[in-house]
Chain A
């Protein structure tokens, strides 16, 4: 069994810390909002579709999406809010494709609801576009086998979890999350890697996601025993 659990390459845990950079760009109606959505940097789209995951982790299953929240709460466009909240973020391999889907959803809504262009947010409730600046730092934690890996996973910060699951896949455009990639290529277990990569991480709190991944790996280890 120990051979199965030993990695060809070690897994180095990184952590991702971020700063929110203000752009000074704001929208108070759907027309302005749509125009700016097309122009702002990808790091803005990333920030507003992922901020909830780290800041409101206990609120899950709150939509991890500032756009949905704003059109619902500030513009009173509940049906558009629901459509934006339902965008299946995990299906989009790049920020570019995610942005296109958001824009398409809003354009379709406006086409079918012409009056929606006339709704304005109250003063102080405008949408402010914010960029995410990521700082990626290697931690001291290195796993050489699956046993190490699961023990370390229990104690790293949720920021580290966040980096390897979300940031690596979407922002850095890797094909899978880092955990699945390492388990498949280094541990050599495609099935276990597949179980983890098939989770929809957007529907968990980060702590629940950690527990779920730890549970999957521990069950796997028990079976191997």
Chain B
């Protein structure tokens, strides 16, 4: 299959990763997959499109199946009111002030009950992603249940956390993306960082013609350095803060700011934030606010055309856009929050910041010192290759599934 740029978009097979990670790494995956023969893994989340979870599952599920692990993926159903509530939960778990009423909790419980009644649970291992489907664990029988939390819960709203704890305690294990998110829990908890797929449309190499055509499509000129943040339009990604940082940079360096992102079907807040961003950007023709369709090639091209990539999140589950940028050997300025410090070692593989002023200073440093910027980008790429590619993630998920059948610290398979 080819997309609008005439680029082949078919999904990669597991063997296509050999030139990147080596044959023996793929052989190790096959060895572990063998140990999961006969088990059915049922993934459940709330959306098939948009956001990091759906993106990872879209790649993970076919590859696990190719390795011989019977992996399936279902979504719960919910109406707008339910997703308004789960977005409130999301924000509250990230530590944002949020009014959540008894009525909101009831909406969550009512929709959860309908899903519990209607959803077929057939997995030997049921892998629940994020809080939206968390209540399904009430259907637990003799199978194994895992809860994957993609959210930064380092300082969550206590009411929401307590409410969720009633469900979390019924799982076999929980999985978090950063050690900072771990809390004392009555169940086992594992650290598994997300990953990027080096062969996906979002991360594979692109020709200069493709990059140029994407920039032309969005009317982004290339006559000045380009500073880019790719993120959903979400207050926690702080797009307004990025504009403020850009304005501080612009006093000294003539550059372009690109704020580009899409929306997820389970995020009702996106349109309001986008409108606010457009308003704040209206008086500067060098700020390009792009609402992207679901086009990974476009994201890839925008990242590759950028001089500096920014991820100035106030809170972040992991921040896969940082890994994407580093994989392209781009210099990155990102907030010291969530899983970002796992990806960036300050002054070695990027620059970390804690404020608008700090972000602006770091962007100026990188724009003024291209050799330094290049070195950070190359170190970053190596770090992503060693630790944050899909093959590592596949391996850890399979080990996680196997861990539900073993209690010891050294397991002989």
Contact = CB atoms under 8 A, between A and B. Distances in A.
Given A55-B386, A58-B386, A134 B409 contact: yes
A111 interface: no
A101 to B, nearest CB: 21
Contact of A124 (B35, B337, B396, B410): B337
Given A58-B386, A140-B27, A172-B410, A24 B191 contact: no
Contacts of A18: 399
A156 interface: yes
A6 to B, nearest CB: 25
Nearest to A134: B410
B75 interface: no
A4 interface: no
B22 interface: yes
A155 B382 contact: no
A128 B28 contact: no
B410 A15 contact: no
B113 interface: no
B182 A17 contact: no
Interface string A131-144: 11111110110000
B412 A22 contact: no
Given A155-B23, A157-B24, A124 B336 contact: yes
Contacts of B200: none
A19 B190 contact: yes
A21 B179 CA distance: 9
B399 to A, nearest CB: 5
Interface residues of B, number: 39
B310 to A, nearest CB: 20
Nearest to A57: B386
Contact of B409 (A55, A133, A160): A133
Contact of B180 (A57, A58, A128): A128
Contacts of B185: 24
Contacts of A17: 28, 32, 395, 399
A155 B26 CA distance: 12
B184 interface: yes
A23 interface: yes
- The dominant DSSP class at the A interface is strand
Contacts, number: 95
Contacts of A132: 409
B176 interface: yes
A41 interface: yes
A156 B24 contact: yes
B32 A137 contact: yes
Contact of A24 (B24, B184, B387): B184
Contacts of B36: none
A177 B409 CA distance: 20
B188 A21 contact: yes
B135 to A, nearest CB: 23
Contacts of B402: 135
A148 interface: no
Contacts of B154: 124
A218 interface: no
A23 B182 CA distance: 8
B1 interface: no
B280 interface: no
A120 to B, nearest CB: 16
B337 A22 contact: no
A128 B400 contact: no
B25 interface: yes
Contact of A128 (B24, B179, B395, B396): B179
8 contacts: A18-B399, A19-B191, A19-B192, A21-B189, A21-B191, A24-B182, A58-B386, A160-B24
Given A21-B190, A133-B410, 18 more contacts: A19-B192, A19-B396, A21-B191, A24-B182, A26-B182, A57-B386, A58-B383, A58-B386, A126-B180, A130-B191, A134-B410, A135-B411, A136-B412, A139-B31, A140-B27, A155-B23, A155-B24, A157-B28
Interface of B: 22-25, 27-28, 31-32, 35, 154, 176, 179-180, 182-185, 188-192, 336-337, 382-383, 386-387, 395-396, 399-400, 402-403, 409-413
